[in-house]
Amino acid sequence: MPSFEPVRAILRGLDVLRVISEAGPITATDIAKQVMLPQPSVIRVLETLISAGYVYRIEGSVTYGVTARTLALSRGFNATSRLVQLATPLIEALRSEIGWPSNLATFDQGAMTIAYTNRSAHGMSIPGRLGARLPVFATGVGIVYLAHLSGDALTAAFAQTKAAVSRWDTNPEILASLDERLEAARRNGYAFAEEAYLDELYHSQIWAVAVPIIVDGKVIAALSSLVLRSAGSRNRILGQILPPLRRTSKAISESLAADAGAPESPPKRTRRG
């Protein structure tokens, strides 16, 4: 909760700027209807935004649009950083529920990059490093990510992965089963990391299962949980951890979608000048 009451003038200005950005070119009358402010107040806000260089009035009309300067407002935004910020408490809650650590991974230039991990923080002796670049075709996070791409996005991801020339992403045995694994991931909604890859890296200590994180129909990341093979039957443990893993993925998706939407409305204003 904020320490102070919001500055209403700033909220009004942001509301007006958002409406012009989303619906412009747009008239002051229509802006006033959408932000629930009297038109004279909207005109004052518009004149301020024009003076600041964020809005312009289209010549010969009564409509307004945003200028290129509004692009500068998002330059400091880092999508992965925001993803991690929103996902971290949810992933930590998942760890408390299932007893196993997780990796959050995003696709970056032909590799799956670990954006967040709580392996070392919770005592798993297997190394896990923030920023580590994992192969795409050999990992569960890579397979579920690819499986939920389509069209040009899938073609581009394949091209970037092949250009990265990872030994695991060019392994003939892994490539031979790739289509089958992608189809299984689409059908089941989850994917396992290749055992040969895990055996070489982790000396047969773990297995891993991953699910996609999808926002507005677009896959933006993948979430995996890692389990010691000595813990028991994979099918039994999968039945225990997969539902919470999916719930966490859904919660992250919903949090990101809400974060990208319109800000929470301030208390309703009366229509006074």
- Residue 217 confidence (pLDDT) above 70: yes
With cut-offs at 50, 70 and 90, classify the pLDDT of residue 78: low
- Residue 126 confidence (pLDDT) above 80: no
Q: Is there a domain that residue 269 lies in?
A: no
Contact 38, 273 (CB under 8 A): yes
Please give the mean pLDDT across all residues of the chain: 87
With cut-offs at 50, 70 and 90, classify the pLDDT of residue 261: confident
DSSP string, 4-44: S---HHHHHHHHHHHHHHHH-SEEHHHHHHHHT--HHHHHH
Choose the final residue of a domain: 75, 100, 132.
Answer: 75
**What pLDDT does residue 227 have?**
93
- For residue 267, how many C-alpha atoms fall within 13 Å in the half-sphere facing its CB? 5
With cut-offs at 50, 70 and 90, classify the pLDDT of residue 72: confident
Q: Is there a domain that residue 202 lies in?
A: yes
Give yes or no: residues 52 and 186 share one domain: no
- Residue 200 confidence (pLDDT) above 90: no
Q: Is there a domain that residue 107 lies in?
A: yes
Give the residue, 128 or 51, on which the prediction is more confident.
51
**What pLDDT does residue 120 have?**
61
Give yes or no: residues 91 and 182 share one domain: yes
Query: Residue 18 has which token pair?
Result: 């958002």
Share of the chain above pLDDT 70, in %: 89
Quote the domain boundaries for residue 195. Answer: 79-259
Count: domains in the chain: 2
With cut-offs at 50, 70 and 90, classify the pLDDT of residue 249: very high
**What pLDDT does residue 101 have?**
92
